[in-house]
Amino acid sequence: MPRYRFKDMISTSKFTEPSHEIFYYGDFPNTFAWGTTSSAYQIEGGWNEDGKGVSIWDEFTHKLQSQISDGSSGNAACDSYHRIDQDIKIIKELRGISVGYYRFSLSWPRIIPTGEINDGINQPGVDYYNNLIDELLANNIQPMVTLYHWDLPQALQDKYEGWLDQSGIIVKAFADYTDFCFKTYGDRVKFWITFNEPFITAQLGYGVAAFAPGHYSPGEGVYYAAHSIIKSHAQAYHIYNNTYRESQKGQIGITLNTNWVEPMTTTDLDHIEASQRSLAFSTGWFAEPIFNSGDYPDVMIWNVGNRSEYYNITYDRLPKFTEEEKELNKGTSDFFGLNHYTSNLIVPCSYYPEEGPTYDSDQEACGDGCAEWPPSASSWLYQVPWGIRKLLIWIKRTYGDPVIYITENGISEHFSDGLDDDIRVNYYKNYIDEVLKAIKEDDVNVKGYTAWSLMDNFEWAEGYSERFGLHWVNFTDPERTRIPKKSASYYRSLAGSGTYVRP
């Protein structure tokens, strides 16, 4: 039984006037940028309209319904494909005195139905994003655009095994797609993100098969997928850098997701080393090639190699970059895009699965949330505000003090929860305060913060059972009405400086 009736919600849906939030540690710099975010498959719907191609998430949700907790799909989602006006309205209201940008992703198969540009583009799909970008700018909201948020064209999966392909075809297909996007939208888009959380694509999509395309290969495929994603990212960066940067004057980078990993016993060297290994396998897997050496972290090369040896595997499960590729990888992000939600406690652990080595066992580190930390509606998401500060300091120290944009941070509630989302207000308050401490006390170069999510949406394998939005969405109403929650008022009041900042 839902806790709120729709009628009750409408009557309580007004914004309370924002008052400037006072932080104990002072204020955010005037130049700090605030945004909110979504992704194409999670909000757009219109899955087969106007010539859009099928994506791996369309296929996955249609064929493997049992993998989605409520058996749902993103077929209609928030219907954003037909409701640009409603989206602009709520972003604009949120803008108030703070929110200056909106991060969203482009659906590759909506723009290029088969994924390969020579097969042709889909003009209505191209126009949809043209309209969205124009409307945002007309309302003083800067677009921050993610080029890939997990919805690969199914045709690329069918023909080439998607990101598993090591022949270079997938890298070229992505490079052509991004080139087209820079050419088409780059006059107005000044902030590009190549990939959202490649870790999730590799591990959940091609490792343990919990996400599309549901390919199970936990000891090899997982590494191959990551390998072609890193090469594709580097290509996209160089295309932008060499051809468009000078005239379009934007920036381009990548968004990585990382939990903070706290050693279970902070005085035990083995625990500390295990947590460092865990960071190397999660963040370092992508960040080391892109922000540091051009290659994978030593500990990954070492551990994967040793474990292959144990199993008498003579080929490289962790593919090797050539010297030329390492050079191409290095320094290919103008900023460090960080998605962060939670933390884990880590202990060293060593086990040898019968089926063969896996990405998980290769790490020799195991982790989980702590039962004493306040939970959320997502089994994996515990509220650990201090974790974000530790993580920001670690990124600063490990990757040469990069400019950091927090491109996602947020918390879930249950489907039955309503507008009084105090849990989310508190989560944002506490996490944002820790971000401020990292800026003021630890001199971390954080330039922007993005709240996930603009509105409740399709939460991947959890369907609609978890709500992450600042706005409540009525998924049984064909209009998909969006109503601000308490957290929307709170978030709107944050910056206080009145400065309109572009990322």
Interacting residues with ligand BGC (CB under 6 A): 39, 42, 196-197, 200, 257, 339, 408, 452, 459, 468
Q: Which is nearer to ligand BGC, 197 or 325 (CB)?
A: 197
CA neighbours closer than 13 Å in the CB half-sphere of residue 341: 20
Q: Which is nearer to ligand BGC, 39 or 114 (CB)?
A: 39
Which tokens hold the place of 127? 């126009």
Judge whether 408 counts as a catalytic residue: yes
Residue 364: closest CA among 280, 297, 259:
280
Q: Which residues of 246-284 are buried (b: 16+ CB within 10 A; e: fewer)?
A: eebebbbbbbbbbbbbbbbeeeeeebbbbbbbbbbbbbb
Dihedral sign from CA coordinates of 458, 460, 461, 466? negative
- 3-state SS assignment for residue 177: helix
Any idea what the Cα angle at residue 334 is, between residues 333 and 339, rounded to 5°?
A: 70
Q: How far is the CB of 257 from ligand BGC (least distance, A)?
A: 5
Q: How far apart are CA 120 and CA 285, in angstroms?
A: 34
Q: How far apart are CA 297 and CA 188, in angstroms?
A: 37
Q: Which is nearer to ligand BGC, 196 or 232 (CB)?
A: 196
With tokens 């209201």, the residue in question is 93
Q: How far is the CB of 433 from ligand BGC (least distance, A)?
A: 21
Q: How far apart are CA 148 and CA 357, in angstroms?
A: 29
Q: How far is the CB of 256 from ligand BGC (least distance, A)?
A: 10
**Does residue 335 come out as left (phi exceeding 0), alpha (psi in the -120 to 50 range) or beta?**
beta
Q: How far is the CB of 315 from ligand BGC (least distance, A)?
A: 31
Q: Which is nearer to ligand BGC, 376 or 398 (CB)?
A: 376
Q: How far is the CB of 152 from ligand BGC (least distance, A)?
A: 14
H or E stretch covering 59: helix 56-63
Residue 151: closest CA among 266, 239, 69, 39:
39
The DSSP output letter for 157 is: H
Q: How far is the CB of 191 from ligand BGC (least distance, A)?
A: 17
Q: Which of 288, 325, 364, 408 is catalytic?
A: 408
User: Which amino acid, one-letter code, is at 466?
Assistant: E
Q: How far is the CB of 203 from ligand BGC (least distance, A)?
A: 12
**DSSP string computed for 363-388:** TTEEEE--TTS---SSTT----HHHH
The DSSP output letter for 421 is: -
Q: Which is nearer to ligand BGC, 391 or 439 (CB)?
A: 391
Q: Which is nearer to ligand BGC, 88 or 200 (CB)?
A: 200
Dihedral sign from CA coordinates of 147, 152, 157, 162? positive
- 3-state SS assignment for residue 36: strand
Q: How far is the CB of 39 from ligand BGC (least distance, A)?
A: 5
Q: How far apart are CA 84 and CA 71, in angstroms?
A: 27
Q: Which is nearer to ligand BGC, 39 or 55 (CB)?
A: 39
H or E stretch covering 252: strand 251-257
Which tokens hold the place of 88? 């602009």
Q: Which is nearer to ligand BGC, 148 or 399 (CB)?
A: 148
Any idea what the Cα angle at residue 33 is, between residues 141 and 236, rounded to 5°?
A: 75
Q: Which is nearer to ligand BGC, 150 or 224 (CB)?
A: 150
Residues serving a catalytic function are 408
